[in-house]
Amino acid sequence: MTYMETSKIENLVGMCIVTTKGASQETAHFESTFYKKKFHITHSLLDAMVWSEAVVDAAGVTDI
């Protein structure tokens, strides 16, 4: 499945990539141009969890 296809998934409100490798961060940044929803790149799992909670809250998701 491509990023353009995943953008069509209604209950998918965002995507976060967790990596500590510079090359992977650069690839993720490039790939983010093809994804039409919230997209975040981080090196910290904790940061990813905080970000995802904020994105879900902002989207008004009440039933997970």
**Residue 63 counted as domain residue:** no
Domain of 9, in residue numbers: 3-58
**Residue 45 counted as domain residue:** yes
What is the structure's pLDDT at 4? 77
What is the structure's pLDDT at 58? 94
Distance of alpha carbon 20 from alpha carbon 26, whole angstroms: 11
**Residue 43 counted as domain residue:** yes
Residues 6 or more apart whose CB falls under 8 angstroms from that of 17 comprise: 24, 25, 28, 39, 40, 41, 42
- Are the C-beta atoms of residues 58 and 34 closer than 8 Å to each other? no
17's tokens: 């990539």
What's the number of domains the chain is made of?
1
Distance of alpha carbon 35 from alpha carbon 29, whole angstroms: 10
What is the structure's pLDDT at 2? 78
**Residue 48 counted as domain residue:** yes
3 pLDDT above the threshold of 80: no
Instruction: Give residue 8's Cα distance to chain centre.
Output: 14
Q: Is the pTM of this model over 0.85?
A: no
Q: What is the pLDDT of residues 14-57, one digit of tens each?
A: 999 999 999 999 999 999 999 999 999 999 999 999 999 999 99
What is the structure's pLDDT at 7? 82
